[in-house]
Amino acid sequence: MRIKSTLENYLFVLPAVTIFLIFYLIPFIWVFQLGMYEWDGILPTKTFVGLSNFKEVLTQDNIWWLSMWNAGYITLIAIIFQNAMAFMLAMACDREIKMKNFFRLVFFIPPVLSEVVVGLVWQWILDGNYGLLNAWLLKMGLPHLVKNWLSDPQTALTTVAVVHCWKGFGWGFLIFLAGLQTIPRELYEAARVDGANAWASFKNITLPLMIPVAILVAILTVLGTMQAFVLIIAMTGGGPAYHTQVPVLRILASMRGSSRFGYACAQGIVFGVVLIIISFVQYRFSKRSRQY
Amino acid sequence: MAVKFSGCLRGVSALSILSLLCLCGCAPTPVENKNSVVIWHWMTDRQPAFEELSRRYEELTGVRVTFELYAPSDAYSQKIRAAAQSVSLPDIFGILGEKRDFSSFVKAGHVLNITPYMSADSGKWKNVFFSKALAVNEFSSDNTYGVTPGIYGVPIDITTIQMVYNKKLLKQIGGNPNRPPATLEEFLALGPKIKASGIQGLVSGWGEVWMIDCMANNYAFNVMGKDKVLATIRGDVPYTDPDWIKVFEIFNQMQNSGVLANGLVTMVNKNAEQLFANEKAVFAFNGSWCVNVYKGMNPGLEFGAMLPPTVSSRYPMVIWGGAGSSFMVNARSPRKEEAVKFLRWLTDREQQVFLAEITLNLPANKDSLKKISDVLAQFADDIETSTHPNVWGVSEFPAVVEALDKGIQSIVIGEKTSAQVAEEVQKIKQRELSKKNNK
């Protein structure tokens, strides 16, 4: 009877375990295994090279680490500006303002748009020769600010980061708004009765209660931004030179440009490990902050 | 409770079985219909013409040919690789990529050697093609890829990649619309005039790095000749050689003179084509397919084809050209004989004339050039002065090609000097050579 019950329990989790095995665990093991081969993705034979692909990624591939740095830079901008904007707009929409439902809808439009479409539209806006932004700057009497935004090495990466923030702030906005709505209104009323002004209420009520939400948004921002590439392909293709190369573009380049599937798999594993470490650190930080 | 529980259990079991059935159902079912040939391709612009030809062929022979379009080309490229892995390639398919990729498909047994068909009747079929178009699909006896010598693909059309100029804009900046700049000096002299007139100079898809590689190769052939270029690829001549630095310096000169369009280094070819078709740029570096593209964007555009302006008279300017698109027959297909018969029909004069008329591409059949436009004829004239990396017998390492392309981008944006780029490319070359030697 006991054995039957145990078997039944296992049977319940079988579909989930099967899906996890087929779509997550086996592909991960397979990718790791492929990372130890030199393979062009076509020939049926693969050459075993041990850990040399991983060694090459870690010690010789400077462009890979440059792409990690670029992704880190975009992520930093996203964490600071994208989330600050999302938080401020969520605060604004949390209050009793006119047309707040309209604004909630509008702020969520960018994330649901296709990344390719967004990239191409922004490429058109930022075009150095016939772009709307430069035309507007000229009209405003600011010709010294006119630039080739996407082909100038000084501005390309930051421009891509700003567009990424515009595209992505809607997710943070929604999560922050949901978080703000869980804060009991009585706390603010009590603070007001005690003579607290708006800043004091924000500092002593909103901010501490929103820290777990902010950490969740930060984790999602880091994971989403580090893996961003569609927008970048559409806007700059990773150029000029290597100025907007990001890790996923390098993986694609290894796979499609160089036909080095094994090396691309090794890059994917290294990238995955980096993301896991970052997530783990953020998780530990979030656990610690919840204790306060 | 027990009844409920066993109901749940049945549900879970049913779900598991359903999942397994779904997964099993993903496997393709082979169809062995001899009267049906399936072709996979990526050529969006040619699909209506292919469908019309398919209709004609079915009327003629009773064999149904289905052209399945998978675009864009990147997605297509991945699809055939995946199909090769699962041994589920169609009867006929095209291979996008370098000769190295082509050779892998052949070595994996996916591509039929069609030399016997081409050579039958004293090479009757083989002789209808431009030799350059066929060469791209051929592996010679001294090929370094380890492929059995032979012809493995049927060219459908040919392409040359060179420069085009807008006749009206060239006249506007003081040039002669009937005599475009022939030397680099003449070309660079137009830079200040282009800048002063507020239009763009040379546009191209240099954001898609292979086009820079193509132009750099054109100039490398012109500066140092074929033998030295191939010696560099073999590793016998370094990229720090003065001739290579001279090649890199040409891009610096172009940038400084103002003949290159703003934002060229991140420009994709579609944008470049729009700029040229909308008469916002005087020159474009593009393939012969542009004739069709420009016609679609601006039917009234007056333009001519030209070779890249030469920098040296020591060696000729050699452009990239050869087969534009080719089809390969699946060696494992049970319908390979039907597939070969169809390709033979497709490359006959009548069908090639039809394809050239509808798609404005240069036909691979050399007897089908009578009805092509004047501009296309200019491209066709230059096919004899063309070459292609796929016929060189040696391939440069992809990492080196990327370093060269990105290096030239760095020169154009003023970030690096020609000497610095040469050093960096050579460093990558040495790294790749030592990796190859260690294997």
Q: Is the pLDDT of residue B281 over 60?
A: yes
- Identify the weakest region by mean pLDDT among A217-221, B154-158, B276-280, B320-324: B320-324
Average pLDDT over residues A255-282: 91
Render pLDDT for B53-83 as a digit per residue (tens, 0 to 9): 999 999 999 999 999 999 888 789 889 999 9
Report the phi/psi class of residue B263: left, alpha or beta, with left for phi > 0 and alpha for psi in -120 to 50. Answer: left
Q: Is the pLDDT of residue B401 over 90?
A: yes
First to last CA, chain A: 48
Tokens 């700059």 correspond to A236
Distance from CA of A170 to the nearest CA of B (A): 28
DSSP string, A88-126: HHHHHHHS--TTHHHHHHHHTHHHHS-HHHHHHHHHHHT
Q: Which of residues 409-428 of B touch A (CB under 8 A)?
A: 409-410, 412-413, 415
- pLDDT classification of B8: cutoffs 50, 70, 90: low
What percentage of residues in chain B have a pLDDT greater than 70?
92
> What's the pLDDT score for residue A291?
56
Render pLDDT for B316-368 as a digit per residue (tens, 0 to 9): 999 998 878 999 999 999 999 999 999 999 999 999 999 988 888 889 998 88
Average pLDDT over residues B13-26: 53
Average pLDDT over residues B23-30: 49
Distance from CA of B62 to the nearest CA of A (A): 34
First to last CA, chain B: 66
**Integer CA distances (angstroms), A208 to A183, A200, A219, in order:** 11, 12, 18
Alpha-carbon distance of B307 to B219, in angstroms, equals 11
Substitution target in A122, A125, A129, A130 with the highest count of B β-carbons within 10 Å is A129
Average pLDDT over residues A35-45: 89
Average pLDDT, chain A: 90
Which residues of chain A neighbour B433 with C-beta distances below 8 Å? none
Q: A83-94 and A100-107 helices cross at what angle (nearest 10)?
A: 160
Closest CA to B294 of B258, B269, B259, B323: B269
Q: The complex's ipTM?
A: 0.83
Average pLDDT, chain B: 89
Distance of CA A221 to the CA centre of its chain: 4
Q: Which residue has the higher pLDDT, B141 or B253?
A: B253
Q: Which of residues 243-282 of B touch A (CB under 8 A)?
A: 261-268, 275, 280
- pLDDT classification of B14: cutoffs 50, 70, 90: low
Alpha-carbon distance of B31 to A148, in angstroms, equals 54
Question: Which of A18, A151, A241 comes nearest B406 by C-beta?
Answer: A241
Q: Is B19 close to A239, i.e. CB distance below 8 A?
A: no
DSSP string, B40-87: EE--GGGHHHHHHHHHHHHHHHS-EEEEEE--SHHHHHHHHHHHHHTT
Q: Is the pLDDT of residue B11 over 70?
A: no
> What's the pLDDT score for residue B3?
44
- pLDDT classification of B143: cutoffs 50, 70, 90: confident
Tokens 């890979």 correspond to A64
Q: Is the pLDDT of residue B4 over 70?
A: no
Q: Is B266 close to A242, i.e. CB distance below 8 A?
A: no
Q: Is the pLDDT of residue B41 over 80?
A: yes
**Integer CA distances (angstroms), A218 to A128, A171, A175, B20, in order:** 33, 11, 11, 38
Q: Give the residue on A whose Cα is nearest the Cα of B427.
A: A60
Q: Is the pLDDT of residue B30 over 60?
A: no
3-state helix, strand, coil split of chain A in percent (to 5) is: 75, 0, 25
How would you label A24-57 residue by residue, b for 16+ Cβ within 10 Å and e otherwise?
eeeeeeebeebbbbbbbbbbeebeebeebbbebb
Average pLDDT over residues A183-207: 91
Render pLDDT for A68-80 as a digit per residue (tens, 0 to 9): 999 999 999 999 9
> What's the pLDDT score for residue B5?
45
With a CB cutoff of 8 Å and minimum separation 6, the contacts of B329 are B91, B92, B111, B112, B114, B154, B336, B339, B340, B343
Sign of CA dihedral B225, B419, B394, B135: negative
What percentage of residues in chain A have a pLDDT greater than 90?
69
Closest CA to B146 of A94, A98, A40, A254: A40
Q: Is the pLDDT of residue A61 over 60?
A: yes
Distance from CA of B44 to the nearest CA of A (A): 19
Amino acid found at A171: W
Are the beta carbons of A267 and A31 closer than 8 angstroms? no
Q: Give the residue on B whose Cα is nearest the Cα of A44.
A: B108
Substitution target in A59, A70, A151, A254 with the highest count of B β-carbons within 10 Å is A151
Q: Which residue has the higher pLDDT, B381 or A229?
A: A229
Does A239 touch chain B if contact means CB atoms closer than 8 Å? Answer: yes
Render pLDDT for A95-145 as a digit per residue (tens, 0 to 9): 777 777 888 888 888 888 999 999 999 999 998 888 899 999 999 999 889
Render pLDDT for B221-272 as a digit per residue (tens, 0 to 9): 999 999 999 999 999 999 999 999 999 999 999 999 999 999 899 998 888 9
- pLDDT classification of B32: cutoffs 50, 70, 90: low
Closest CA to B323 of B115, B82, B154: B154
Q: Which of residues 183-242 of B touch A (CB under 8 A)?
A: 200, 207-209
> What's the pLDDT score for residue B245?
97
Alpha-carbon distance of A116 to A118, in angstroms, equals 5
> What's the pLDDT score for residue A258?
84
Render pLDDT for A216-266 as a digit per residue (tens, 0 to 9): 899 999 999 999 999 999 999 898 999 999 999 999 999 888 889 999 999
Q: Is B263 close to A151, i.e. CB distance below 8 A?
A: yes
Alpha-carbon distance of B434 to B41, in angstroms, equals 38
Render pLDDT for B228-239 as a digit per residue (tens, 0 to 9): 999 999 999 999
Strands B154-166 and B150-151 turn out to be: unpaired
Distance from CA of A208 to the nearest CA of B (A): 44
> What's the pLDDT score for residue B18?
56
Q: Is the pLDDT of residue B10 over 60?
A: no
Render pLDDT for B299-321 as a digit per residue (tens, 0 to 9): 999 999 999 999 999 999 999 98
